[in-house]
Structure 1
């Protein structure tokens, strides 16, 4: 049972109600865009700068369905050494469940559970961790979200905003279907392709990226809103870029391979 709950927590199958609004921030129409600036290149360079560094991370996913239904939230706080493809994460599903994760270049380790039902360390090969739900990175991997942002083009400048007290410039672009389906399971990709066909075009997902004065991506948000149907927003905020991140890998004797872990 605990293993099944773990899958749900890591892939977004269960969550906790929240009253927090998902409204998108208004764009700053007063900042005129310069046609001579390639904003897509600015964003791609900023994302690559972050992916070559390390950071403390906070990721929050909010999901809703039809009007009047509750909104659900999953949070994941951690520290990532993106250059070494490793990190630590604590994921919480409201007050329902909590899981610790360790990401290495080869594996994702996880332990935790719900209430009194807990599970010891288990692991899966990182290559086997796939996206099961749109806008939910597998294994709460912050690098996945950054890579999705770097796969889109057509970024426009939306003015300046503060992120954790620091001055940033916000850019926005549609998320391409290729980026949306990046590293999805076959089943999830089939559902996303079906939704795209039903809508007669691209699924309306927006990518927002905030770039600081040092040219680094410090916040990424992917948001989907189909009125009357479904909404989903995942926001990743990064801080303390460049500070060392210590990753302690569970010993082989203290962990077991998990066949149930897939998200």
Structure 2
């Protein structure tokens, strides 16, 4: 099977939702506060009413990003796309040692609210600068492993990480701005300080394929701080990020990503890379399952 054929087949198998509606950015954007309130997939418990003290919230968040990148965690990320008659959720679960750049993830794509039996699955193993992936239920019976460059993989849709890389999400958060402290809450069973900030075009278009970036970059830059895109971050007392909520609400299309990081700092055991994986160029890898 050719490289391009494999990429095209993955697109069909995953019912590709490329979020081409990003082109509506220049018109009809909804309010940010309403979008953020509706974006979370899990409610927090016991919030305090007074904001937590912080000399520089942005610096606190960036410091937490750096600390988390040197740690390990269990990952549970849910990316939901709604609008234009569609409602899909991509789920990314697994364990990741970010210091060692090793992890294993299970990805699934399904219409929101349907059973797991209806989801299209994908397996991934991260090993340094290489990512191995396979679709265990390919319709043509080809369930072999492929491998590609982690650093060369590109983004094909908003708030999707290339190859579902959780460290990429941390990088986007580190590029957010105008953070404010929003109080302390109990999240994932631990006390955490919440920060809320804004996303501009730079993190939203980070590593996006050229043809899509060129279509939307100019209107996004023109909108500037009026862009309805937000980042909420929860940081533990140990300075580790335990939840990230990213939202971009374009009015006709809304994308939200809620990534929970649990078992922070605990050792992660990751399977060795599969032998005999077919190497494919990063440019041939795409589709809703792979970002």
Name the residue aligned to 1:256: 278
Name the residue aligned to 1:4: 8
Secondary structure in 2 aligned to 1:55? strand
Name the residue aligned to 1:230: 253
In the alignment, the residues of structure 2 paired with residue 81 and residue 9 of structure 1 have an alpha-carbon distance, to the nearest angstrom, of 30
Secondary structure in 2 aligned to 1:155? strand
How far is the alpha carbon of 1:176 from its aligned partner? 2.6
Name the residue aligned to 1:145: 169
Normalised TM-score (structure 1): 0.84
In the alignment, the residues of structure 1 paired with residue 140 and residue 18 of structure 2 have an alpha-carbon distance, to the nearest angstrom, of 16
Give the gaps of 5 or more residues in structure 2: 20-35, 111-117
In the alignment, the residues of structure 1 paired with residue 206 and residue 72 of structure 2 have an alpha-carbon distance, to the nearest angstrom, of 22
Contact 1:11/1:132 (8 A) holds in 2? no
Name the residue aligned to 2:38: 23
Contact 1:10/1:140 (8 A) holds in 2? no
Identify which of 235, 238, 250 aligns with 1:211.
235
Name the residue aligned to 2:95: 79
Contact 1:172/1:207 (8 A) holds in 2? yes
In the alignment, the residues of structure 2 paired with residue 248 and residue 236 of structure 1 have an alpha-carbon distance, to the nearest angstrom, of 22
Q: Deviations over 1:130-189 (max 9, x none)?
A: 111110001111100011101122211122222122111111111132222222221232
In the alignment, the residues of structure 1 paired with residue 138 and residue 176 of structure 2 have an alpha-carbon distance, to the nearest angstrom, of 40
Secondary structure in 1 aligned to 2:147? strand
Q: Deviations over 1:50-85 (max 9, x none)?
A: 11111110010000124xx23210101011111122
Name the residue aligned to 1:133: 157
Contact 1:207/1:220 (8 A) holds in 2? yes
How far is the alpha carbon of 1:212 from its aligned partner? 1.1
In the alignment, the residues of structure 2 paired with residue 37 and residue 11 of structure 1 have an alpha-carbon distance, to the nearest angstrom, of 46
Residue 145 and residue 45 in structure 1: after superposition, are their counterparts in 2 closer, same or farther (change >3 A)?
same
How far is the alpha carbon of 1:97 from its aligned partner? 1.0
Contact 2:52/2:184 (8 A) holds in 1? no
Identify which of 47, 51, 63 aligns with 1:45.
63
Name the residue aligned to 1:244: 267
Residue 173 and residue 135 in structure 1: after superposition, are their counterparts in 2 closer, same or farther (change >3 A)?
same
Residue 157 and residue 210 in structure 1: after superposition, are their counterparts in 2 closer, same or farther (change >3 A)?
same
RMSD over aligned CA atoms reads 2.9
Residue 176 and residue 9 in structure 1: after superposition, are their counterparts in 2 closer, same or farther (change >3 A)?
farther
In the alignment, the residues of structure 2 paired with residue 179 and residue 170 of structure 1 have an alpha-carbon distance, to the nearest angstrom, of 20
User: 209-218 vs 158-167, which deviates more?
Assistant: 158-167
Name the residue aligned to 1:179: 203
In the alignment, the residues of structure 1 paired with residue 211 and residue 205 of structure 2 have an alpha-carbon distance, to the nearest angstrom, of 11
Number of residues of Structure 1 aligned to a counterpart in Structure 2: 253
Identify which of 83, 93, 107 aligns with 1:91.
107
User: 122-131 vs 22-31, which deviates more?
Assistant: 22-31
Residue 167 and residue 5 in structure 1: after superposition, are their counterparts in 2 closer, same or farther (change >3 A)?
farther
In the alignment, the residues of structure 1 paired with residue 178 and residue 236 of structure 2 have an alpha-carbon distance, to the nearest angstrom, of 20
